[in-house]
Amino acid sequence: MKFTLFFSLCTLACSIMNAQSLTSIESAEFDPINHRFLVSNGNNIVEVNSVGAAIGEMGNGVPVASYGMEVAGTTLYTIDGSRVYAYDLTSDALLSYITISGATFLNGMASDGEGRVWVTDFSAKKIIEIDFSDVLNPTYQIVVANTVVTPNGICYDAENNRLVFVAWSGTSSDITAVSLENYSMSPIVTNASLNSIDGIDNDNYGNYYLASWSPQRITKYNSTFSVSEVITIPGGLNNAADIAYAEEIDTLIIPNSGNNTVRLIGFSVPLNVEDSQESKVAMACYPNPIVDHAVISFMHEQDGLVEIDAIDAQGKIVYAVGSNHYPRAMQRVVLTDLPISQGNYFWRIRTSYKEFSIPFVKN
Alpha carbon distance 292, 256 (integer Å): 31
The amino acid at 263: R
94-to-63, 97, 115, 135 alpha-carbon distances in Å:
7, 8, 16, 10
What pairs with residue 229 in β-bridges? 220
Query: Which residue from 179, 311, 253 is spatially nearest to 28, judged by alpha carbons?
Result: 253
Strand partners, 359: 346
Q: How far is 162 from 130, CA to CA, in rounded Å?
A: 15
Sign of the CA dihedral running 57, 119, 106, 165: negative
Chain mean position to CA 51: 15
Domains in the chain, start-ordered, CATH in brackets? 13-266 (2.120.10.30), 274-362 (2.60.40.3080)
Instruction: Report how far apart, in Å, the C-alpha atoms of 181 and of each of 26, 101, 177 are.
Output: 31, 25, 12
In whole angstroms, what is the distance from residue 353 CA to residue 2 CA? 32
Question: What does the alpha-carbon distance between residue 106 and residue 125 come to, in Å, rounded to a whole number?
Answer: 10
Are the beta carbons of 321 and 310 closer than 8 angstroms? yes
Which candidate, 288, 291, 284, 292, places its Cα nearest to that of 268? 284
| 153 contacts: CB under 8 Å, gap ≥ 6 | 107, 108, 120, 165, 166, 197, 198, 199, 200, 201, 210, 211, 242, 243
Q: Is the whole model's pTM more than 0.75, yes or no?
A: no
CA dihedral of residues 65, 69, 75, 81 (deg, nearest 10): -40
The SS3 assignment for 309 reads: strand
Q: What is the mean pLDDT of each run of 10 residues along the chain (363 residues)?
A: 39 41 89 86 81 69 94 96 97 97 97 97 98 97 97 97 95 92 96 92 93 94 92 80 87 90 66 34 71 76 85 88 77 78 88 80 86
DSSP annotation of 232: P
Q: What count of residues does the chain have?
A: 363
pLDDT at 277: 34
Q: Among 222, 266, 221, 261, which residue's Cα sits nearest to residue 241?
A: 261
